[in-house]
Structure 1
Amino acid sequence: MTATSGTADPADEQVRPSAWPRGALSVLSLSTIGFTLMFAVWLMFGVLGIPIRAEFGLTDVQLSWLSSLAILNGAAWRLPGGVLADRVGGKIVFTALLLFTAIPAYLVSQAHSYGALLLYAFLVGFAGNSFTVGISWVSAWTPRERQGFALGVFGAGNVGASVTKFIGPALITAVPVVGWAGGLIPGGWRFVPFLYAVLLVLMGVAVWLFAPRPDRRPGQHRPLGEMLRPLRQMRVWRFSLYYVVVFGAYVALAAWLPKYYVDVFGVPLYQAALLTALFIFPASLLRPLGGWLADRYGARRVMYGAFATMLVSTLFLSMPYGHIVLYVPTRYEADGVREVLPYELGLLPFTIGVVVIGIAMGVGKAAVFKHIPEYFPEDVGAVGGLVGMLGALGGFVLPPLFAYTQEWTGLPQSTFFILFVITAVSALWMHLTVMRMLNARSPELAREIEPDVTAPGPGRGR
């Protein structure tokens, strides 16, 4: 059996359990490496924002908008990017994104005003659209029975969010502020976007030279209206909300946590960056595991586990620090006040809680995208584009929401209460949908569980 044949021969499957179409592994490798780099560029302001805030004298709200504008542009074009990759081929679109993003990445290194930074940060956000382009490209080359794993491997490129966390503080310190070669190569925090601009160009050339030819274009001859028709289904919008929880919130936390660690726990930037990387690694590298689990046990079961884990963890982290004040007779306390049940979360338990959230997100991201080729095998680009776009828009909305809520309540922990609420809404919607599906497909079983007390017969009231 070939990997693209319509019927499976069990004997063939045993002989060649890991057969891939020619060129599929090249596509998976190049797209994953390129996506890792693009993700590092997209979320670089999570670390660079700290020295940028000091240089430009920004408030927390102004800093949050710097990250959010990059995230916004990384979400806005995901739907057309996925559709375009289906129609003209992922290789062309992926290469174009790499080369184009190099331009604003370089311009960030030359910015000398907050307004210029906002503009260039927005343009750098094009890097985030590489996700749906890569999803479409990888899906076109991967057999359906291996798509959960392949898309999980590609999605593990989210680990690029930790690249700047690791190399950023060291490079900022190592490269003099005046730069090298008479300032031709900028120094300090500006060296990081300059380096990324060079790497983006090199990666674009590599994709163009080494990706297989001809490319696959599953939507080449299909009308655009037909490709967009599945977006009318409520199921697609439900998947999008799930992705806000497991991806949009991941993007927001990856950008927000360095500042959180610095401001709440008083750790230096390099340590805050490393602690944030502890969240990013499982949230990214466990996507292949999540894809494998979804292939084996079903995406919906995996989503139940991911949501339950996130609900417990975010509720734990959202608890405000403080104590209960009791008014007692002065014979027990001189001032008539007794403080009981003091609570304050230390750095270690906080980091453990954040890592647990990252594990759930990493598994859940793969499970969400496992749904798409199963329900919409011919429309992965369009459906994946919309789901990815709305999920990433969550990453745009959440950082300013974190900043404004913290400013309003004075509680940094409000960040995690917001995550608890959106997770609870998503989990409830999924569960109600599952219950409706079970009731529709097995009404007899539903009546057995919830008997109709108005119906006559011996079973009434059991």
Structure 2
Amino acid sequence: MTAPSTAPAASRGGRWIQEWDPENETFWKETGEKVARRNLLFSVLSEHIGFSIWTMWSVMVLFMGPEYGLTPADKFMLTSMVTLVGAVVRVPYTFAVAIFGGRNWTIVSASLLLVPSVAAFAVMKPGTSFNTFLLVGLLAGIGGGNFASSMTNINAFFPLKKKGWALGLNAGGGNIGVPVIQLVALAIIGASGGPRVLLGIYIPLIVVAAVLAAVYMDNIASVKNDTGAARDAAKDAHTWIMSFLYIGTFGSFIGYSFAFGQVLQNQFGRTPLQAAYVTFIGPLLGSLIRPVGGWLADRYGGARITLWNFVAMAGATGVIVVASTQKSLPLFTIAFIALFVLTGLGNGSTYKMIPGIFQAKAVAKGLEGEEAASYGRRLSGASMGLIGAVGALGGVGINLAFRQSFLSYGSGTGAFVAFLAFYAVCFLVTWAVYLRGPATQTSTATAAEAKPQLSYVEV
């Protein structure tokens, strides 16, 4: 048997790897790991800039003072709609990897980021109507799609035992685009610069990311033309269960990233500069900790880490409710940043669960070796985009909840109470589906049905 070749083969549209077997340890050590790490690096770069463009309106609204004529409710509506588009486009972006190839779609998706950036540069000035801002903000949502295609692509490059680390690093490197654009904005605000300066920095970076993807990334031929995998993943109940849990982790991360600065301004009277000084800290720590969540899940099991992470998220949210009612800015800020860290840990652990779940299903079907690994890669890669899309909808819910809470109560306290209840439900779902032992199943359950339940504990 010949070893799989990693030489990019000449084909339509660029560099192609015709055979790829990361579960083969010899192949992985000799050639596979080097190729996978190179693709991971440039995938992170493109996804990082995509996250920055997606969340740039969390920064833009800090620049938009009274002269722009927008109310706090208008701003929450704007960021909600940007988050919504970012969630929805993750579905076609997942299919795009199978249709065009991971490298090819990375080039296209990076280049598309020029559209919202140039449009925002053109309209960002007082006197522009709210509807125009809303339309241009919707364009920025395409940056959210880069995550889905990137995760689907990178999932195919790494063996199961490395997926938690690799996917955590890929996602964490992308997520960190949120605090980076907020840090850059802080420097610009501090230097009395305007939002167009911010956009002027990112437009050339987009071009660089697209060019580097073209030069250094590869397509995996076995991933291409497997659009049926997404349909199969959509029929699996675990795709939707994990989507629900991901609403609690990533939905919280992206929703709070958009809303944190606005809450500080509207509830605690912070100026744009004062808000910007702390807004980036939570997303930064949440992004940096995400690979740690994946690593912990690799070592102790994603379901266990996810379960106790929801307990901690509920505890941090309870502290925020107390701080909000007592109007304690220091306690509120510390607890909110702690909540960001926990969302990052949960992001890493939930995404590690996905390939483990489908691998367990493959074993339960009686599949072995490469056949089982191929089944797991196929369905987990397809499900990741769908899970990422639904999870991002949590960010929409968070911003709409804040909007309603400020309209009804003049503060975000009501929204935080709702989030606390939601985390409790996430805890119960994680325990009931992935950690409850077979002894709690009905007596009519067969041994074959119990086996995958036992293996889910380790995912």
TM-score of the aligned structures, taking structure 2 as reference length: 0.82
The residue that corresponds to 2:95 in the other structure is 83
CA pair 22-353 structure 1, distance change in 2 beyond 3 A: same
CA pair 204-175 structure 1, distance change in 2 beyond 3 A: farther
Give the distance between the partners of 1:249 and 1:5, measured in 2 at CA: 33
Deviation at 1:19, TM superposition (A): 7.5
1:216 aligns to 2:220 (yes or no): yes
The structure where helix makes up a greater share of residues is 2
1:220 is paired with a residue whose SS is: coil
1:361 aligns to 2:343 (yes or no): yes
The answer to which of 27-36 and 267-276 deviates more is: 267-276
Would you say how many aligned residue pairs link Structure 1 and Structure 2? 404
Task: Give 1:367-386 correspondences, 5 Å limit.
Answer: 367-374=349-356, 375=358, 376-386=376-386
The residue that corresponds to 1:391 in the other structure is 391
The residue that corresponds to 1:200 in the other structure is 206
The residue that corresponds to 2:73 in the other structure is 61
* Cα pair 2:63 2:272 within 8 Å, conserved: no
Deviation at 1:398, TM superposition (A): 1.9
Task: Give 1:410-449 correspondences, 5 Å limit.
Answer: 410-434=410-434, 438-439=438-439
Deviation at 1:52, TM superposition (A): 2.1
Aligned counterpart for 1:160 among listed residues 168, 177, 183: 177
The residue that corresponds to 1:450 in the other structure is none
1:96 is paired with a residue whose SS is: helix
Task: Give 1:44-193 correspondences, 5 Å limit.
Answer: 44-111=56-123, 112-156=128-172, 157-172=174-189, 174=191, 188-193=194-199
Q: Percent identity?
A: 25
2:176 is paired with a residue whose SS is: helix
The residue that corresponds to 1:348 in the other structure is 330
Give the distance between the partners of 2:392 and 2:404, measured in 1 at CA: 19
The answer to which of 373-382 and 75-84 deviates more is: 373-382
Code of the residue aligned with 1:209 in structure 2: it is V
* Cα pair 2:113 2:206 within 8 Å, conserved: yes
* Cα pair 2:23 2:160 within 8 Å, conserved: no
Give the distance between the partners of 1:306 and 1:361, measured in 2 at CA: 8
Give the distance between the partners of 1:221 and 1:116, measured in 2 at CA: 38
Deviation at 1:47, TM superposition (A): 1.9
> How big is each residue's C-alpha offset from its partner over 1:396-418, in whole Å with a ceiling of 9 and x where there is no partner?
23212211122112332223212
Deviation at 1:320, TM superposition (A): 7.0
Deviation at 1:22, TM superposition (A): 3.7
CA pair 314-6 structure 1, distance change in 2 beyond 3 A: closer
Unaligned runs of 5+ in 1: 177-187, 323-343, 445-462
* Cα pair 1:290 1:362 within 8 Å, conserved: yes
Deviation at 1:4, TM superposition (A): 3.0
1:58 is paired with a residue whose SS is: coil
The residue that corresponds to 1:333 in the other structure is none
Task: Give 1:274-423 correspondences, 5 Å limit.
Answer: 274-319=277-322, 344-374=326-356, 375=358, 376-423=376-423
The residue that corresponds to 2:251 in the other structure is 248
Code of the residue aligned with 1:57 in structure 2: it is G
The answer to which of 410-419 and 398-407 deviates more is: 410-419
Code of the residue aligned with 1:313 in structure 2: it is A
CA pair 21-7 structure 1, distance change in 2 beyond 3 A: closer
Code of the residue aligned with 1:297 in structure 2: it is Y
* Cα pair 2:304 2:435 within 8 Å, conserved: no
CA pair 226-283 structure 1, distance change in 2 beyond 3 A: closer
Give the distance between the partners of 1:261 and 1:301, measured in 2 at CA: 33
* Cα pair 1:30 1:211 within 8 Å, conserved: yes
Deviation at 1:170, TM superposition (A): 2.5
CA pair 426-5 structure 1, distance change in 2 beyond 3 A: closer
Unaligned runs of 5+ in 2: 5-19, 359-375, 445-459
> How big is each residue's C-alpha offset from its partner over 1:419-458, in whole Å with a ceiling of 9 and x where there is no partner?
21221111112222246553367969xxxxxxxxxxxxxx
- Structure with bigger gyration radius: 1
The answer to which of 128-137 and 81-90 deviates more is: 81-90
Deviation at 1:60, TM superposition (A): 1.2
* Cα pair 2:188 2:198 within 8 Å, conserved: yes
Give the distance between the partners of 2:253 and 2:39, measured in 1 at CA: 26
> How big is each residue's C-alpha offset from its partner over 1:131-150, in whole Å with a ceiling of 9 and x where there is no partner?
01110121122222111100
* Cα pair 1:165 1:274 within 8 Å, conserved: no
* Cα pair 1:78 1:133 within 8 Å, conserved: yes
* Cα pair 2:22 2:32 within 8 Å, conserved: no
Code of the residue aligned with 1:119 in structure 2: it is L
Deviation at 1:24, TM superposition (A): 1.2
> How big is each residue's C-alpha offset from its partner over 1:94-122, in whole Å with a ceiling of 9 and x where there is no partner?
11111112122111111133222111110
Give the distance between the partners of 2:331 and 2:237, measured in 1 at CA: 39
* Cα pair 2:232 2:379 within 8 Å, conserved: no
Code of the residue aligned with 2:239 in structure 1: it is V
Aligned counterpart for 1:228 among listed residues 226, 231, 241: 231
* Cα pair 1:261 1:267 within 8 Å, conserved: yes
> How big is each residue's C-alpha offset from its partner over 1:306-363, in whole Å with a ceiling of 9 and x where there is no partner?
10100111112113766xxxxxxxxxxxxxxxxxxxxx25222222211221221111
